[in-house]
Amino acid sequence: MSKNIYLTTAIPYVNGAPHIGHACDYLLADVYARYQQQKGNTVRFQAGTDEHGNKIFKKATENGQKVEEYVAENSKKFQDFIKKLGVEYTDFIRTTDKDHESRVQKIWQKLESHIYKDSYEGWYCEGCERFVTQNEYDENQGICPDHQKPYERLEEENYYLRISDFKDRIKTAIEKDELKILPEFRKKEMLRLLEDTPDVSISRPKKQLSWGVAVPGDETQVMYVWMDALSNYITVLGYPDKDISDFWPADLQIVGKDILRFHSIIWPAMLLGLGLPLPKVLLSHGFVLTNGAKMSKSLGNVVDPLEVLDKYGLPAFRYYFLRHADTFADADFTWEKYDAAYNNELANDLGNLVQRLATLCKKNQVKGLKYQPASDPIYEKYMDELYFSKAFDYIWEKVQAINKRIDEERPWELAKQDPERAVAVLKSLVEDLLEVANLLVPFLPDVAAKIQTLFTAGEILPPETPLFPKN
Ligand code: MSP
């Protein structure tokens, strides 16, 4: 029976153009979406942009632009980028959408019994948009390791969300995998963090933060960006104006490891406060590094994803980041590794295989085969564990096994001695390749479609240009 699946991605800040790391959320989500669609399920796939906060406001000003213009321009860059990745979302939300803003205010009002006002003095990192504890401040010697900027001392009146109202329920949900956190070691990390989490500040005085959603009923305060941003996952479905039960709770929420904490603590607290069920799975992926180092503008090692896409086209990009970036760990991007993956794996292992097999089929008059998708328990196990890079490794083992079989069974020699046997061998090789193509659908949909067309149409003809030309 067809199920409704709801899948979400983190909404990036629009304080610049997309970088290569932003591709992770979208590619993983796209694989999951296509896998679910292949199973006949209906997928709703949200993407969007996080457009409020001082960080963005300052960038717009530096650029000499009106903030509305600046965020619209950058949001468009993300939308274009996602399309370039071959990623098909169903809903796109901007946190400056009027519907979103009014819904966030209603969410705030619904949470009011868990909100209180207090004054606060502490350390804040604008890059992270969060307060840090004195311990964290001391450990990092006053400088945020992620943003290389000194923490600011803030003393102000804020509204707080009483996390303590929900701690026990969140803890149990995470422990029992009702809110499943992947990978396992992050689950443990989040449980530890939850223990130490105080109530969270969810607003800033307007004079400190003007670019945000107003707190209802208090003109002096503006909502904390995370309160506004996290709500997007339900406001995009229409909450609280519409019934969202067809798609909420989300089946899968994909985020990077740096923002898992917000999704494991504040977000569940908000949902529990609203009386909504918790998402089923939170998947936290690693970071894309370059030559083992974090990409940063100051180090001058930021890789432009459009340049990477241009070099060998989309399938190579998807291949590299979905297979060579372990779903749950940090991944390294270097041009050398990228070139090697393209030439040795895509072009040699798969491209040559397609070319060779099609040529042999043509010579021996093997016609296109009908293909009935078969189930593959190992592949499905990896996919259901959301270990997509492992599933992709497994597909590649199959590609290599077909190459090995051709070399061992030598159908071109068989054709001279026993043509009937040669045809039977070729047919079975084509069947194996069609099976690979079927498993490739979520990862490399265009390549999968090309292989399917080549080997299921009447006459099998080798492609005029190789699938992965070498340049
Ligand atoms: N605006 C928040 C998210 C709000 S979600 C309600 C934010 N934005 S971000 O632009 O900093 O990050 C967006 C996504 O990109 C996050 O999932 C983040 O982890 C991911 N990445 C940012 N840099 C990355 C890499 N270098 N590598 C992989 N993913 C990275 O956080």
* CATH number of the domain where residue 377 is located: 1.10.730.10
Residue 417 lies in a domain: yes
Any ligand 1 atom below 6 A from CB of 287: yes
* Structural domain harbouring 436: 335-456
Q: Is the pLDDT of residue 133 over 90?
A: no
CA of 287 to the centre of ligand 1 (A): 9
Rounded to an integer, the average pLDDT of 422-435 is 97
Residue 184 lies in a domain: no
Residue 370 lies in a domain: yes
pTM of the model: 0.95
Tell me the per-residue pLDDT of 66-111, one tens digit each, with 9 for 90 and over: 999 999 999 999 999 999 999 999 999 999 999 999 999 999 999 9
- CA-nearest residue for atom 7, ligand 1, is 12
Any ligand 1 atom below 6 A from CB of 258: yes
Residue 209 lies in a domain: no
pLDDT of the residue at 154: 87
d(C-alpha 218, C-alpha 197), whole Å: 26
* CA distances for 167 relative to 115, 157, 171, 187, 195, angstroms: 15, 24, 6, 15, 8
Any ligand 1 atom below 6 A from CB of 24: yes
Closest ligand 1 atom to 288 CA: 27
* CA distances for 166 relative to 171, 182, 191, 280, angstroms: 9, 21, 13, 17
Count of domains observed in the chain: 1
Residue 92 lies in a domain: no
Tell me the per-residue pLDDT of 344-365, one tens digit each, with 9 for 90 and over: 999 999 999 999 999 999 999 9
Residues whose CB falls within 8 Å of the CB of residue 333, separated by 6 or more in sequence, listed in order: 20, 288, 289, 290, 303, 308, 320
pLDDT of the residue at 116: 97
Sheet of 293-294: strand order equals 293-294, 288-290, 331-333
Any ligand 1 atom below 6 A from CB of 179: no
pLDDT of the residue at 297: 67
Any ligand 1 atom below 6 A from CB of 11: yes
Q: Is the pLDDT of residue 12 over 90?
A: yes
Residue 388 lies in a domain: yes
Residue 397 lies in a domain: yes
Residue 124, token pair as written in the block: 């804040």
CA of 31 to the centre of ligand 1 (A): 18
CA of 22 to the centre of ligand 1 (A): 6
Residues whose CB falls within 8 Å of the CB of residue 343, separated by 6 or more in sequence, listed in order: 470
Residue 222 lies in a domain: no
pLDDT of the residue at 298: 67
- CA-nearest residue for atom 19, ligand 1, is 256
* Catalytic positions: 19, 22, 125, 128, 144, 147, 294, 297
User: Is 371 within 8 Å of 441 (Cβ atoms)?
Assistant: no
- CA-nearest residue for atom 25, ligand 1, is 21
Least confident interval from 132-136, 186-190, 276-280, 394-398: 132-136
Q: Is the pLDDT of residue 299 over 80?
A: no
